[in-house]
Amino acid sequence: MPRTSKRAVKNPKSVKTARGGKSGGAYRNSRAGKSIRMVYLVGLILVAIFAIGFLIVQIAGELAPWRLAGDISPNDARKQIAEGAVVLDVRIREEFVAGHIEKSLFMPLEELTSLMSALPRDRLIITVCRTGLRSIQARYILEEAGFSQVTSLKGGMEAWIAAGFPVVYGEPARNN
């Protein structure tokens, strides 16, 4: 017959373990255990929100109209530049100085509305930035201002450089 203890255990969750600590049940119900579970739960919720947001942005980006029309590949841009298109670089000065397409006009996106009167209305304007997002904004600003021949470089300077096309360095010429 197994030996039983005559001492009654009031709370089995508070039984000490072999190492002297409380058993898992006591920790689970302690303030520290609840706090840890709460932090873990909040972390999971934040990860889920981030993942859902990321998916929405990806889907919206694929379906957005500015991704379907209005931009030009680096190869096509190079051909258009050779035929007289104007390259409008809308990045900040530091980005421009670090490398730009030869003969680019420098007009940071933040200053575009005040400087756009210097742009020709009778030639194609190719807007350029680092990755293509600011150039899309610039294209829309120019289109809203009545410029009819405007496109943006798909992938921006990163795509231009990846295509192996030439880049020049230095301060912008006084074009504005």
User: Would you please indicate which residues are annotated as catalytic (active-site) residues?
Assistant: 129
List of residues 6+ apart from 168 with CB closer than 8 A: 99, 100, 101, 102
DSSP 146: T
Q: Answer whether 27's CB lies under 8 Å from 33's CB.
A: yes
Residue 119: name the closest of 133, 109, 105 by CA.
Answer: 105
CA–CA dist 36, 32 (Å, integer)? 6
